[in-house]
Structure 1
Amino acid sequence: MATIINVSAATAHEARAAARTRRKAPLGRRLRRHGTGYLFMLGAVLCFALFSWYPMIREVIMSFQKTNFAGDTRWVGFENYRHIMADPDFWAAWRTSGLFTLFALLFGFVVPFLTAVVLNELRHARSYFRLLVYLPVMMPPVAAAFLWRWFYRADDSGMFNEVLTALHLPNVQWLQSSHSLAVLCLVLFSTWANMGGSVLIYLAALQGVPGELYEASELDGAGVLKRIWHVTVPQTRLILSLMLMLQVVNTMQVFLEPYVITGGSNGTTSVVYQIYDYAFNFNNYGNASALGILLLVVLMGFAAVYLKLARSVEED
């Protein structure tokens, strides 16, 4: 036993010495040794720098500038921020994005998880139903949005109102009757169009839940709902919390749904749609950049709070 311990200690000492030697190796030798890996990384770094980091830095700079039609810029400090906060549409856009996020958590977060649980329990035609659920993701988003805009038509030609007419029920002004109903209609489309990817992620997480836990809960007399609450949810807690954060971040940046389906009417203008309005309808890139920075700060604050809570839960 002592011999084995001595050999292990010697091996560990040699490994540490080799690591120190590699760290002290000249830069040229390290580049020759890892040159291929650095070249592969260089492409990714350049892509991020050109298409992600540079636009972010440029947006921060533009948020403190005023640009005219001739392309001339001048520094205005925090004037853009004061201007957008004084705009009544600013707070309305935040209310719409917040309401969209709330409905998305009730439907777009819960429905995909329950769908994954049902698909995971299927014994026949499982692959067919998975394809059926994922099919909307493969449709072009704009084409799918135009399709649902036809579904929501207020007259008898809209599919949903045709169903209501067939059931001898009055037609519904889906997108024009009230602000909350219009936002809910957008959330239903978003849930249908995007749930396929979430369902596949949840299915992958459910595959890792030990079957013995379900068997033990069945022996204890637990029903389906109790098994989901006491076994499935705790075992997939990490992926659920991650998907929750991604859901909030994505839904706060909603743009396609109000742009294509409602055109921002009936108070469905979101924060990102307001950014689009400032930049391309009013040619006010300073206000658009300032609002984009505010949205970034809000989402970063949410992510920081989430990471702090997640770390405290893991430590407990």
Structure 2
Amino acid sequence: MSAPTLPAGEQREACVSDAASRSRPAPRREAFVRAVGRNLSAHAFLIGAVLCFSFFSWYPMVREFLLAFQKTEDGRTTWAGWDNLRTVFADPAIWQAWRGTLLFTGLALVLGFAVPFVVALVINEFRHAQAYLRLLVYLPVMLPPVASVLLFKYLYDPGYGLFNTVLDALHLPQQQWLQDPDTAMLSVVIAATWMNMGGATLIYLAALQSIPGELYEAAELDGAGVLRKIWHVTIPQTRLILSLLLLMQIVATMQVFTEPFLLTNGAGPEGSTTTVVYLIYQYAFNFNDYGAAAALGLLLLVLLAGFSAAYVRLSRTADDT
């Protein structure tokens, strides 16, 4: 038997549709081409960001890790193993640097962590001029750090500085702010707090304004005063922000360099303002020992990474309980 045949018109239509389907790309290919074209600009920005991070962040970290175990002499690089770490631990200045860094971190937590929160509480109570107050608080952050430090160096001057002028007007003894080992680190912390408190204050203020007003009204009905409302309502509602900024502040203050370097030339009187990062600077640019500088930087990195991991783990455990 012969196969049935279609009429001539239907055969022609079938051939045309078959040719069109063969000339059309597959649906998956069309979707892929459309997705690439639609997201081409996003991929371009993403690739640029990845390249910038690779070149300016990740590559220096990998290079520092390798340099911590190498020695460079007369332009020749050799493998040194643990010699750089032994050099760092044998240096008596390292313990003074760690002591200065921990002292700065402790004082910065007392001032730099508490003061922005108190300032945010005060600004939050204003019903008018909040925009002006936010600008006023954030203004020091917008100033160049060097200009801010030099301003405080002028204020701390023992001869004509504003601070000693105020003390003299109050009939109080004048201070050698940056020249006295007992007050040098505190003076550096005060300057650093003024320079960096604006960002933390705005974050705290945003967190405070997100707290429902019904909670404060309920606390007032229960007879709670200002301090009890802060302790039982404000702090629990902003606990996440407080813990996050506490971690960020500890990591930042452990890497302080600009303020003591410009205010007290780095070491300060009797080495009272020596920090770990300043010692890294000395190893690299004063002693030309880049291996020891990289080893000390790697040690600081490991310490901060371990502290951050432990802090996050303890925070999750506290939230679960």
Normalised-by-shorter TM-score class: 0.7 to 0.9
After the TM superposition, which segments of 4 or more aligned residues of structure 1 sit over 6 Å from their partners?
25-28
For residues 229 and 174 of structure 1, the distance between their equivalents in structure 2, rounded to whole angstroms, comes to 35
Q: 2:87 aligns with which of 80, 83, 89?
A: 83
In structure 1, the residue corresponding to 2:78 is in which secondary structure?
strand
Residue 172 of structure 1 aligns with which residue?
175
In structure 2, the residue corresponding to 1:226 is in which secondary structure?
helix
Name the aligned partner's letter for residue 254 of structure 2.
M
Per-residue CA deviation, residues 248-289 of structure 1 (Å, 9 max, x unaligned), is: 000000000110000122221111111111111111100110
Q: 2:235 aligns with which of 233, 236, 261?
A: 233
Q: 1:145 aligns with which of 144, 149, 156?
A: 149
Name the aligned partner's letter for residue 105 of structure 2.
T
Displacement after TM superposition at 1:169 (Å): 1.9
Q: 1:44 aligns with which of 40, 43, 49?
A: 49
For residues 106 and 74 of structure 1, the distance between their equivalents in structure 2, rounded to whole angstroms, comes to 45
In structure 1, the residue corresponding to 2:177 is in which secondary structure?
coil
For residues 288 and 37 of structure 1, the distance between their equivalents in structure 2, rounded to whole angstroms, comes to 39
List gaps (5 residues or longer) in structure 2.
1-27
Which is higher, the Rg of structure 1 or of structure 2? 2
The alignment status of 1:269 with 2:265, answered yes or no, reads no
For residues 215 and 187 of structure 1, the distance between their equivalents in structure 2, rounded to whole angstroms, comes to 38
Displacement after TM superposition at 1:176 (Å): 2.3
1:169-208 mapped onto 2 (5 Å cutoff): 169-179=172-182, 181-208=183-210
In structure 2, the residue corresponding to 1:109 is in which secondary structure?
helix
List gaps (5 residues or longer) in structure 1.
1-24
The alignment status of 1:126 with 2:130, answered yes or no, reads yes
Displacement after TM superposition at 1:178 (Å): 2.4
Identify if the C-alpha distance between structure 1 residues 35 and 125 changes in structure 2 by more than 3 Å, giving closer, same or farther.
closer
Residue 19 of structure 2 aligns with which residue?
none
Name the aligned partner's letter for residue 297 of structure 2.
G
For residues 198 and 231 of structure 2, the distance between their equivalents in structure 1, rounded to whole angstroms, comes to 23
Residue 70 of structure 2 aligns with which residue?
65
Per-residue CA deviation, residues 214-261 of structure 1 (Å, 9 max, x unaligned), is: 011111111111111110000000010000000000000000011000
Give the TM-score normalised by the residue count of structure 2: 0.86
Residue 14 of structure 1 aligns with which residue?
none
Per-residue CA deviation, residues 192-222 of structure 1 (Å, 9 max, x unaligned), is: 0110111111111111100000011111111
Residue 157 of structure 1 aligns with which residue?
160
Q: Quick check: 263-272 or 283-292, which moved more?
A: 263-272
Displacement after TM superposition at 1:34 (Å): 4.3
Displacement after TM superposition at 1:49 (Å): 0.1
Name the aligned partner's letter for residue 221 of structure 1.
G
Displacement after TM superposition at 1:163 (Å): 1.2
Contact preservation (8 Å) 2:141, 2:198: yes
Displacement after TM superposition at 1:28 (Å): 6.5
The alignment status of 1:249 with 2:254, answered yes or no, reads no
> Identity rate of aligned residues, in percent?
58
Give the TM-score normalised by the residue count of structure 1: 0.88
Q: How many residues align?
A: 289
In structure 2, the residue corresponding to 1:178 is in which secondary structure?
coil
In structure 2, the residue corresponding to 1:74 is in which secondary structure?
strand
For residues 112 and 32 of structure 1, the distance between their equivalents in structure 2, rounded to whole angstroms, comes to 47
For residues 238 and 215 of structure 2, the distance between their equivalents in structure 1, rounded to whole angstroms, comes to 13
Identify if the C-alpha distance between structure 1 residues 158 and 33 changes in structure 2 by more than 3 Å, giving closer, same or farther.
closer
Q: Quick check: 117-126 or 50-59, which moved more?
A: 117-126
Displacement after TM superposition at 1:31 (Å): 4.9
Displacement after TM superposition at 1:32 (Å): 5.6
